[in-house]
Amino acid sequence: MKNDKMMWATLAHLGYNMWGDENHRYIRNTLSHLSTQIMRVDKKYWVEYTNYMASLGLNTLIIDVGEALRYESHPELALIDSWSREEMEKEIDRLHSIGFTEVIPKLNFGAGHDTWLKIYDHMLSSSVYKQVTADLIHEACDVFKAKHLHLGMDEEHYRFQNENRRGLAIVRQGNGWWRDLYHLVDCVEKENARAWVWSDPIWYNPEEFVRKMPKSVIQCNWYYGSEFENPQNTGLDHDDRTYLECFELLDKHGYYQVPTGSNCYGAEENMVDLTKYCQKHVSNEHLLGFMDAPWSAARKSSKERQFRSADHLAEAKLWYETNTK
Amino acid sequence: MGNTAKMKAAIIDLCTNLWFENGNELAKTNDPLRFASKKLRCDRALFDEYTEYLAKCGINALILNVGDALRYETHPELAVEGALSIDEMKKEIERLKSLGFEVIPMLELSTAHDEWLRDYSHMIATPPYYKVCADIIREICEIFEPKYMHIGMADESADYQMEYEYMAVRHNELWWHDLYFFLDRVQGEGVTAIVYGDRTWGRSEEFIKGMPTTAVIANRYDGHLDPEKLSCYETLAKDTYRQLPAYVGAPNAQNLSMLDEYVKKVIPDEKLLGCILIADAVCDPSRREELFAAADSIKGI
């Protein structure tokens, strides 16, 4: 039976220091995703963008918070223009008032996406890191009154932290990664919220993933391509086939999912086709909604991609509601 | 080494928490000594016997990889169970000197070999990390009163750490920044630093540009005839570095003799301080044979 509380979610970025280090002396090559000391959010555009999404009937906003909040527990993480708790709470109220039924914080703790943690991104798995992450999760849950918190944890491989991106590469592997994940999930669950993660670890080691990933954690598997034919007998390349098959694999093993699509690689039809694919291959019971991730800063220069992306999600929603019993 | 003034050193790992984390399930090796332990794994009787044998083999310097085998006054939290007290270490140094050894302390500060730093190995390039490194370098120098101190810096690459639960790799200027920090602390104590030379492999231009000639370079050779690694001895010699070629001993005795001849040919005598024998084994009874075979392998050099 169709889930009437489906989340139609967009991932929007207030924090954007998620990839490379700042353009300082440790980095030799330039990179578009270097970290900066000021926020990359055009506030006027942010309001326009979120109003537009709400007007399309999209009901969930996932905010990649990162360095955008001046945490009272860790003000040392703030940029000069990070929002105060009061500013963030006011914005969350506004987002609720325009129609978002849920505003979900995302703090990406993946080692390749945590430059927003400043010095603490050199301290993973340490006693200090455990305390800081617990503090930040507690505060984010408190500010957002969160029922869910997205922990990120994607792309933790050396290639995402090579010498063109990071002065110091840190990669948690095997149980080193799982131990920190369990700690983070525990922190979220202590706040009576539910943890989300990106699901890409299942691409590389499905057997270990289903053995170790708690069923309580919501899964965001993603696929941004344009090919959706039956992965068993078509010309899909190996990676695309793996990404698609994992939607079914997660379902088979009882995980709740919010499949994620994007037009970031130019596949404008991706979101609608992904919705059709998952409606067919993921059980209604485990399908909590869909997420669209345009992967761009909230700036007017991104308007075209982001508005198109919102349109695609709205179209997907309409298709799903029309074609699902 | 025909010249008796040359150093013939052997490394002994008092500290063995240099590789895999305790309980690591990624590591393909079955060697239990490669996994971290809460206890000191240096067998006292074997250590005594081995050091006496090394002296008989003509070894005149011992490089003690100290790490967590010492109960530092500044950082007792690093000590493993059974770690030597400062007094015990001082007594041991005296005993070794009485056998004819120069005693050289070593702290392996590469991120590939710093499991012994415990929580601090997860704080690379942060204020607590720099503080603990500075504190223990100073303390080691006070205890050993050495002429040389080996700071390791080997194998810091992603490839080397693919089976670690916690991979950490300093890139580019961060690696150099931290190296300079360590060199500054060692040289500030009036001590000459020894550094492994593998940073020169494949990037000798960067190495020569960055590495001060005050540091003594220990380029390692493991018996596999790798022309690039061999050529580094010559490259470093041309750029006036003093060298202590490090030979990985035991199964490669014949190659060691050949290497010894090679380095004597390419390194000017005044820049060749001697050589280092890496037995690549700890003072555990299960490694007795390897240890003594390594000692034998250097007899002819």
Q: Classify burial at B289, counting beta carbons within 10 Å of its beta carbon; exposed 0-12, middle 13-18, buried 19 or more.
A: exposed
In this predicted model, what pLDDT tens digit does every residue of A106-134 receive, in sequence order?
A: 999 999 999 999 999 999 999 999 999 99
| B240-268: average pLDDT | 83
Determine the distance in angstroms separating the CA of B34 from the nearest CA of chain A, rounded to an integer: 17
CB–CB of B120/B80 below 8 Å?
Answer: no
ipTM: 0.94
Determine the distance in angstroms separating the CA of B168 from the nearest CA of chain A, rounded to an integer: 4
**Set of chain B residues whose Cβ sits within 8 Å of the Cβ of A170:** 124, 166-168
pLDDT at B253: 61
B1: pLDDT strictly greater than 50:
no
pLDDT at A20: 78
In this predicted model, what pLDDT tens digit does every residue of B28-72 receive, in sequence order?
A: 999 999 999 999 999 999 999 999 999 999 999 999 999 999 999
d(CA A64, CA A19): 13
Q: Do B168 and A169 touch (CB under 8 A)?
A: yes
Q: Do A173 and B174 touch (CB under 8 A)?
A: no
Q: Where are the beta strands (DSSP E) in B55-181?
A: 61-65, 102-106, 148-150, 166-170
**CB nearest A170 (choices: B23, B163, B168):** B168
Percent of all residues in chain A with a pLDDT value above 90, rounded to a whole number? 85
| B155-172: average pLDDT | 96
**Set of chain B residues whose Cβ sits within 8 Å of the Cβ of A169:** 158, 167-169, 171
Among residues B65, B163, B148, the alpha carbon closest in space to that of B114 is found at B65
A57: pLDDT strictly greater than 80:
yes
CB–CB of A70/A83 below 8 Å?
Answer: yes
pLDDT at B256: 77
Chain A CB within 8 Å of residue B164 CB: yes
Q: Choose between A32 and B145: higher pLDDT.
A: B145
Q: Buried b vs exposed e over A283-320: b needs ≥16 C-beta within 10 Å?
A: eeebbbbbbbbbbbbbbeebbebbbebbbbbbebbebb
| B103-109: average pLDDT | 98
Confidence band of B2 (pLDDT split at 50, 70, 90): very low
- Secondary structure, 3-state, A100-163: CCEEEEECCCCCCCCHHHHHHHHCCCCHHHHHHHHHHHHHHHHHHCCCEEECCCCCCCHHHHCC
d(CA B28, CA B163): 8
d(CA B13, CA B41): 9
Q: Do A170 and B21 touch (CB under 8 A)?
A: no
Chain B CB within 8 Å of residue A117 CB: no
pLDDT at A325: 84
A229: pLDDT strictly greater than 80:
no
Chain B CB within 8 Å of residue A27 CB: yes
A32: pLDDT strictly greater than 70:
no
- Rounded to a whole number of angstroms, the CA Rg of chain B reads 18
pLDDT at B3: 47
d(CA B83, CA B40): 6
A214: pLDDT strictly greater than 70:
yes
In this predicted model, what pLDDT tens digit does every residue of A155-194 receive, in sequence order?
A: 999 999 988 888 999 999 999 999 999 999 999 999 999 9
d(CA A61, CA A10): 5
Chain B CB within 8 Å of residue A80 CB: no
Confidence band of A3 (pLDDT split at 50, 70, 90): confident
**CB nearest B174 (choices: A26, A119, A175):** A26
